[in-house]
Structure 1
Amino acid sequence: MQKYRCVPSVYGHSAEPMPTVEEIEKHYRESYYQDPTGQYSKSYDRVELDYFEDRANVALDFAALHGVAKGHAIDLGCGEGFFLKAAQNRGFNVFGVDHSLVGIERQNRDLIDSHPGRFLAGDIGSTRHFEGVAFDLVYCKNVIEHVIDPDAIMARIASYLAPGGLAIIEVPNDFSELHSAVFGDASKEELSIFIPPVHLHYFTTKTLPELGRRNGFSVLDCFGDYPIDHLLMEDAFNYYKDKKLGSSAHSLRRKFFRYARGIDLDARIGLFRSIFMAGLGRDICIVVRR
């Protein structure tokens, strides 16, 4: 088995050595989401479905805040299709691309059936899908940390955007200052968040906006999600040390998003924006425009 190191990089930290394209393809082919027996759940309860919708609507709120509330929306790495379902419910024409459509076929088959030709299986890094179609909103969640060259993906994202269009890029917030406080001097290679060849790059609230600016985007806004990692500061709630606590931690995250959906829009925007500004959020997002 390949031994990886975690080294500082322009992205924050990265795995070294970088796996080959063939090694990555083998990994995804054999063990990841496109495998029908892999990591997608076969069913979700109503509370979990509400959580997916609540998360998606936060991103859509930020898009609307910056002038994009309708038009063509594409999810690059569309997974099970929950973001696109929420976007369609808000009036967008939706499109999706992923390595495999197993997830969306299982969870949101109606999107595919009602929009033939708008959902494609393929590599978002090597092909510009839907030639001739420009997008008002490009959503890319938990993708660029998986690829060898995130800058190349940013160029691909730019190629999809219509004039005035927005992209929302979401990644895990790894090796943050909170993580430093929690894990102390522990070697990064020893931490469970270091998981090559699944995640190759590890972004922070400082390096993610830099990625946008370096690739010719204006960074209009930033926001984070529920800072679930704060639970690691107390052993009684530390779901890394006690895996049985994981479901309770996730329940807190779901309840947080449900609460946030019920508060005033300006307060909600300010809440998620402030989480990012404090360096928190298990996932972090930038809203960018060319």
Structure 2
Amino acid sequence: MNYSWSRPEDRIECRAGGRVLFADTIDHWDNAVRRLLDFDEARGQAWVERVLASSPRPFPDCGPEEKIAALCQGTQAFFGIEQDAEPWSASDYAALDVFGLKADRLWVRGVGRELGVEVIGPVGIEHGILVDRATRQPARAPVYEEQYFEGKTHGLGYGNYLAQSDWRMEKSRRYVRRVAAIAQFIGRPTGAGTRLLDMGSGYGFFRAAAAEQGWQHEGEDVSAYAAKAGVEIFGFPTFVGTLEQFAAQTDATYDVVTLFDTIEHIADPEAFLHVVAGLLAPGGLCVLRTPNLRALEMEIFDRHQHSLKLEHLHYFSPASLCHLAERVGLVPEFTTTESHLLAGFLGPHLASIRQQLRGSDLFFAASKP
């Protein structure tokens, strides 16, 4: 089939046979889809065409499950993903403890082009941990300095983080609204004077958005480079060190502790959340965002899913977040998912996918009794 591409006004469209088969906004296509998948224009278009060609009939005429099947088939063919014939045995990881449970499932083998790792974990709570296949040990975190934020190492870090400032500021304002809405929903409203601790605060975009609402804020990050950037951009001082080191030097407690795209980087999330619980005031709220192991994108992209990264040591699900929160004495209050990457293919079906908790990222809140 012959496909043609055009950019009418603020949209990008793929047509065949006189019909629009795929459409997205230019902003989302350029700054979300191609950025997250690390595609140039030609490769992005080739991926879309491979998916459309995998559909048994014109893509817009398909139901949601047919579209998802075409996405799975076309995407895995495009990436050349084949099932690894090497058998997997839970006994290889018998000594590994995952929040009091044993690893009894292989979730995905490999991360992108790196096949020396795999994500395994307990099926009962749907949790994954990144392990080295050779040593059978948990993978180690990278160094979070300039190369991680602004470098070009394939499959690691952000790359051009500062260049995305406008988008990151807009996203941070959206996250502040979301935190406030969650707090209001569970009867713990925020307002001017709300005491916020932002863990893994990076360059400080979320803190800047919180300050616009009159929140009092502090930040922590293990990256001296990110903390220095926060001072240069916003004038915010940031504690440089681990959460345990931060907690040891303060007697303060907080109404809200946020962990956006942070907990997946932590080698021992249970110990980490235990410290978070100690920093919360009674009735305080911990709100986190993290990739969703049970996301539809995991099914479609397999080891090429954009949230599968060598620096992501843990992969959570709604069940595993609830399990972990309860183990450290927090009360799970709210869970939702968000998903946007596949908007050009799935459009209005994404709302149902999010409601089924199959979105690509989890938003989770737990309170301190």
Do the aligned partners of residues 275 and 68 (structure 1) sit closer, same or farther apart at CA in structure 2, a change above 3 Å counting? farther
Bigger RCO of structures 1 and 2 (CA < 8 A, at least 6 apart): 1
TM superposition shift of 1:221: 1.4
Q: Distance in 2 between matches of 1:102 and 1:40?
A: 14
Contact 1:134 1:161 in 2 (8 A): yes
Q: Distance in 1 between matches of 2:217 and 2:160?
A: 21
RMSD across aligned positions (CA): 3.5
TM superposition shift of 1:277: 4.0
Do the aligned partners of residues 46 and 192 (structure 1) sit closer, same or farther apart at CA in structure 2, a change above 3 Å counting? closer
Contact 2:291 2:315 in 1 (8 A): yes
Give the counterpart of 1:167 among 272, 286, 295.
286
Amino acid at match of 2:287: I
Query: Which protein shows a greater Rg?
Result: 2
Contact 2:199 2:257 in 1 (8 A): yes
Q: Distance in 1 between matches of 2:160 and 2:177?
A: 21
Q: Distance in 1 between matches of 2:299 and 2:310?
A: 26
Secondary structure of residue in 2 paired with 1:206:
helix
Contact 2:145 2:226 in 1 (8 A): no
Amino acid at match of 1:14: I
Is residue 281 of structure 1 aligned with residue 359 of structure 2? yes
Q: Distance in 2 between matches of 1:175 and 1:191?
A: 15
Amino acid at match of 2:238: F
TM superposition shift of 1:91: 1.7
Give the counterpart of 2:300 among 182, 194, 197.
182
Amino acid at match of 1:173: N
Give the counterpart of 2:276 among 157, 176, 191.
157
Name the structure 2 match of 1:13: 128
Alignment of 1:100-119 (within 5 A): 100-103=223-226, 105-106=228-229, 109=232, 111-112=234-235, 119=238
Name the structure 2 match of 1:138: 257
Name the structure 1 match of 2:304: 191
Give the counterpart of 2:148 among 26, 32, 40.
32
What is the TM-score normalised by the length of structure 1?
0.69
Name the structure 2 match of 1:56: 176
Amino acid at match of 1:28: Y
Give the counterpart of 1:122 among 229, 241, 244.
241
Q: Distance in 2 between matches of 1:32 and 1:277?
A: 33
Name the structure 2 match of 1:262: none
Contact 2:119 2:129 in 1 (8 A): yes
Q: Distance in 2 between matches of 1:152 and 1:57?
A: 29
Do the aligned partners of residues 58 and 199 (structure 1) sit closer, same or farther apart at CA in structure 2, a change above 3 Å counting? same
Contact 2:203 2:226 in 1 (8 A): yes
Do the aligned partners of residues 140 and 180 (structure 1) sit closer, same or farther apart at CA in structure 2, a change above 3 Å counting? closer
Deviations 1:71-93 (A, max 9, x none): 31100110121211121221211
TM superposition shift of 1:279: 1.1
Do the aligned partners of residues 103 and 64 (structure 1) sit closer, same or farther apart at CA in structure 2, a change above 3 Å counting? farther
Give the counterpart of 2:188 among 35, 57, 67.
67
Do the aligned partners of residues 147 and 18 (structure 1) sit closer, same or farther apart at CA in structure 2, a change above 3 Å counting? farther
Do the aligned partners of residues 120 and 275 (structure 1) sit closer, same or farther apart at CA in structure 2, a change above 3 Å counting? farther
Do the aligned partners of residues 157 and 132 (structure 1) sit closer, same or farther apart at CA in structure 2, a change above 3 Å counting? same
Q: Distance in 1 between matches of 2:353 and 2:203?
A: 26
What is the TM-score normalised by the length of structure 2?
0.55
Identity over aligned pairs, percent: 21
5+ residue gaps, structure 2: 1-113
Contact 1:172 1:203 in 2 (8 A): yes
Secondary structure of residue in 2 paired with 1:57:
helix
Is residue 217 of structure 1 aligned with residue 326 of structure 2? no
Q: Distance in 1 between matches of 2:256 and 2:150?
A: 25
Deviations 1:218-269 (A, max 9, x none): 11112223x12444967xx9xxxxxxxxxxxxxxxxxx9xxxxxxxxxxxxx
Q: Distance in 2 between matches of 1:150 and 1:123?
A: 13
Runs ≥4 in structure 1, deviation > 6 angstroms? Answer: none
Name the structure 2 match of 1:251: none
Q: Distance in 2 between matches of 1:180 and 1:232?
A: 18
Secondary structure of residue in 1 paired with 2:285:
strand
Deviations 1:107-147 (A, max 9, x none): 5646545xxxx521111255515511111110111111111
